[in-house]
Structures are given as C-alpha cells and as structure tokens.
Structure 1
Amino acid sequence: MRHSLPLTPQFYVTAPQTCPYIEGRRERKLFTALQGSGAAALNDKLSKQGFRRSQNVLYRPSCADCTACLSARLRVADFKPNRSQRKTLNRNAHLRREITSPWATEAQFALFRRYLTARHADGGMADMDIFEFAAMIEETPIRTRVIEYWDDRPRETGGTPILRAVCLTDVLDDGLSMVYSFYDPDMTHDSLGTHIILDHVAIAEEAKLPYVYLGYWVPGSPKMGYKAHFAALEIFKNRVWQPLGDPADHADETHPLSVEPIAEQVARIDLPETAS
C-alpha cells in the first residue's frame, strides 16, 4: 500500500520544560515537520510568522503563560552600524569569510565544543556528540549554507589558518536566517558574535535580500538583550512585524493573559497556497 505525506502541515506542542531565558518560567514549543517538495515554501512562509528551523522541524515558542520570545530581524536597507559596531568590524577586518555547503567538519566541531564548554556548559546542547552535530549542520531540506570565518594571520609565521567563527545560515526568499552561530570563546574582546551579524547584513545587502533574521529577542533576558543594540530591528508581535522601539514597552509579554489558546494560534497561521 502506498502512503503519502499529508498536504497540510500537522502542528504539535512539546511538553513544558525549564525556560532557558527567564528564570522560573516554563517553555513549550509549537512545531511542524519540514519535509517534501514544499519545504522551502513552508519555511519561507512560516519564518515570516515567527517560526525558526531546527534540522527538519519548524518551531516557535508557545508557552502557557508567557509570550516574551519575539522573533527579530534587521531591515538591511535601513541598518547603520553604531560606533561600537564599526570598531568591531575594523577589529575583525583580518577574518576571511568562506561560504560552503552544509557539511560538518572536525574543525567546526572542535570549535563548537570549546564554545559550549565556555558559554553554555549547562545548556541543552552541552552533551551533543559529533554525530548529533553533523545532523544539526547537514540535515536540511532547504537552501542552507555554512559561513566560516578564518584567521589567516598564522600564515605570516608559517602556521595554518585558524577557524574563529561559524554560522549555519538559511537562505530565505526575503533574507538570511541565522540558524545557529558559535565562535572562539577566547576572543571575547573581538565581539565575534556581533561581527557575524554585521557580516550577514553585508552578505544580504550584496544579495539584495531585505532582511537578516536573528532568532528571538526576549525582554528581560540578559542572554538576548544584545539584539536590542542593533539599529533597524523589527520584532514579530501581535502577528505583525513592527519596529522594536523602546525595549521597556514589551515587558508585559510575560503576563499570562497575553497568551492565545493553542487552537487559535494554529488557526491564524498563514500557510503557502500549496499546503493550505
């Protein structure tokens, strides 16, 4: 008997877990599978509605008593780096960008392990082995690239280039989506995380793509506060993209009355015509 995939995406909700961003909170996610010939169209459509990709899954936070996680993106045409960000670009001008297909390497994994140990030793990825890492990089049904940043200065003394930073990046129909990035934890002064974002703005500008999707901005979370420092930042709130404005204006998103029932959330999702 022949079995076919359902044309309409099926949505599910994860069990509650400890929130990684706000102490004392519980998180859950609304998710759907990303597969088949319509994967790219579904990813493009749902990314515009606050979803993110993780391997073959699209998800967005759907917590029972909190809507603090707000999808964020930069408007490339309106973005202007501030003085600190210009210094970051100058400080990292020696880095060589290399864009490759989504293929995991030992150099990437070694840097990934160092990054997790230094920055997220108690996080959900802390126990990832090389096979799980390879799956994170390589299992993608859409147009994805790995963007590496190499330090060539050791060549001047007969050494070999050093991999300093990596970003797994999806190419959407309206921008670049930074799925996951990691970098040399010993180079804190160089602000490599900021440099990766600034360079993605440059790549999007070169490709004439209007947006760079940064993931989630969370008011009140020290881990996510840095995103508010970027000009021309938009957030997806109340089902529309809008300028961030004053970050303090979004503190009420942690109130339980701000949450819509799951059935309403799913009913309001706009699907591609081929899947609806």
Structure 2
Amino acid sequence: MTALSRFPRFFVTSPSPCPYLPGKQERKIFTELAGQHAGELNDALGRIGFRRSQSVAYRPSCAGCTACVSVRVVADQFEPNATQRKLLKRHSDLEITACKPWATEEQFELLQRYLATRHPGGGMAAMDESDYADMVEQSPVSSYVIEYREPSINGERGKLLGACITDQQADGLSMIYSFFDADEESRPGLGNFIIMEHIMRSRAARLAYVYLGYWVKGSQRMAYKTRYRPIEVLGPNGWSLLTDEDQTYEMPMPARVSEAA
C-alpha cells in the first residue's frame, strides 16, 4: 500500500451556511482518493462516517455542532412493513440494470427534472451536463449507475424513471446520490423503492449494509432514512442500533479524527 493510502492528508473547508439547520455553519474534513488503493481507503473511511464525492472522501466537522450522524441499514435483517411491501409490489415491473459509471443525456435530463421538482434553488440546481458527467465518471472506486426503467415494449427500452450512483464497498453498498421521476401520481414512493431495492441487492450479494449517508435529527428532509429498520448510527463507541428514543434525544458523534492541513 502506498504512503498516500496509509497516511492520507486531511484538509478542512471554510465554514458555509448549513443546508439542513437554519443559522448553523457547515464545515467538512476531506481527503483525496487516488491510486490503486483508493478503494481500500474509501472502505476504511466509510466505516468511520466518511462519504465519497468524485475523488474526495469527506465528513462533517462543524464547530459546535454534531447533528449529522452516519447511518446504515442492516440489510440481512431488514423486514419491510405493510406500506413498504405494497411499494415493492407496485414497482416490481420495473427493469433494473447496474450500468458502468458513464453519464448519459437521458440521466441528466431526469436529474434536472428531479432537482426542479424536489430541490429548486438548491446547491445542485446550476449543474450542467459536464458537471453531471464529472459526478458520475470521476470515481476511483467500484461504482455503478443503477437505472430503473419502465418495462420494455416490442424490444424498445422503457422510459428511465430513476437512477442511483452507487459504490460497492467491502461491507456494503453506499448510495452516493439517487434521483427519480418525482411525479407522485404515476409512480408514488419511487424514491423509497430505490432504497429498498438496494437493501435487497446488498442482501443478494452477501453484503451486510446499505449506507444512506447522514441523518440529521429534526430535519424533515432526512426523516425518511429512519423508516428502514434495523438501522445503525455511528457514535463514539462505534455503530449501534437506532432506537425510537434516539430520535427524540441528541445522538453523539464519533470522536473527531486529526485534522491535518
């Protein structure tokens, strides 16, 4: 293993407005993922709460705030509730393909519609096609774009309804970013289905977890992540199961890693 992989250099971003909690400032610690051991480094960092964006692994490191908590679903113990079973049945006709990480015009157009509907004016709203290509293709680790399509008709591929940029780590799947047709009338609950399909996919591959990124208690945008039980949270003593009480009281965060400039 190279010195870069064994002893990565960490950097810290300048504070900026938090997208989840009004009045708070966001700061991140990050390092580069590069070289033949990038996958191993990404796996190790993923287990202590880091996420990947292109060739960078990052984690919140906000002064005076520990609201962001890493969460992961325990795939082989997940049992869908009645509502989730209905969603699985409703979308069981979709054609699902794990594609190489290559951006397409069709994916980008779906992303634009998704952002306009779900996150108008958000930080990704100004992305152009080149930005999207970088987001998908600049991956130094094992990645896929998993596509969800309407059934084919007479050999013609069905309409693209959803997609998820997904990393395969040593112990699970990490959902980097998902987007989908947000028309609730035609395909209600599609975003929830994509998460459950990842859980089933992880289980079939004998992978223990599905990493969902960060959960922020009290943020409505993040509340959906706690619907998939059992789900673990990362605290100072490692991963532990999230309980109903944890959603009421403050969750601790893991001890900060050394921040080297």
* TM-score (structure 2 length as normaliser): 0.92
Secondary structure of the structure 2 residue equivalent to 1:84: helix
Judged with a 3 Å threshold, the aligned counterparts in structure 2 of structure 1 residues 225 and 259 are, in CA distance, closer, same or farther, namely closer
CA distance in 2, matches of 1:29, 1:123: 18
In 1, Cα distance between the equivalents of 2:52 and 2:147?
Answer: 20
Conserved 8 A contact 1:145-1:169 = yes
Q: How does 1:112-151 map to 2 (within 5 A)?
A: 112-151=111-150
Matched, 1:184 2:173: no
Dislocated runs of 4+, deviation >4 Å: 4-7, 247-250
Check conservation: 2:33, 2:140, Cα contact below 8 A: yes
* CA-based RMSD: 2.2
Q: Is the 8 A contact 1:175 1:211 kept in 2?
A: yes
- Deviation, structure 1 residue 160: 5.3
The equivalent of 1:68 in structure 2 is 67
1:249/1:6 Cα in 2 relative to 1: closer, same or farther (>3 Å)? Answer: closer
- Give the structure 2 partner of residue 200 of structure 1: 198
Query: Does the Cα contact within 8 Å between 2:234 and 2:253 map onto a contact in 1?
Result: no
- Per-residue CA shift, 1:106-159, capped at 9, x if unaligned? 100000000001111121111000000000000000100110000026x27x97
In 2: Cα distance, 1:234 partner to 1:5 partner = 30
Q: Where does residue 265 of structure 1 map in the other structure?
A: 256
Map 1:146-157 to 2 at 5 A. 146-152=145-151, 155=153
With over 3 angstroms needed to count, the CA separation of the structure-2 counterparts of 1:79 and 1:6, relative to structure 1, is closer
Task: Name whichever of 217-226 and 242-251 sits farther off.
Answer: 242-251
Counting aligned pairs with the same residue, the percent is 46
Instruction: Indicate the residue corresponding to 1:55 in structure 2.
Output: 54
Q: Which residue of 2 aligns with 1:241?
A: 239
Classify 1:259/1:151 alpha carbon distance in 2 versus 1 (closer, same or farther; 3 Å): closer
Give per-residue Cα distances to partners, 1:5-38, cap 9 Å, x unaligned.
6852111111111111112211111111111122
Gaps of 5+ in 1: 269-276
1:15 aligns with 2:47: no
CA distance in structure 2 between the partners assigned to 1:66 and 1:217 by the alignment: 14
Question: Which string of whole-angstrom CA distances, capped at 9 and with x for unpartnered residues, describes residues 53-100 of structure 1?
Answer: 000000011110111111110111111001111011111111110111
Q: Is the 8 A contact 2:217 2:247 kept in 1?
A: no
- Alignment coverage as a number of residue pairs: 257
- Which of 169, 174, 188 is the matching residue for 2:171? 174
Tell me whether 1:162 sits opposite 2:153 in the alignment. Answer: no
Give the deviation of 1:252 after TM superposition. Answer: 2.8
Give the equivalent residue in structure 2 for 1:93. Answer: 92
- 2:218 aligns with one of 217, 220, 225: 220
Match in the other structure for 2:208? 210
Q: Structure 2: where are the runs of 5+ without partners?
A: none
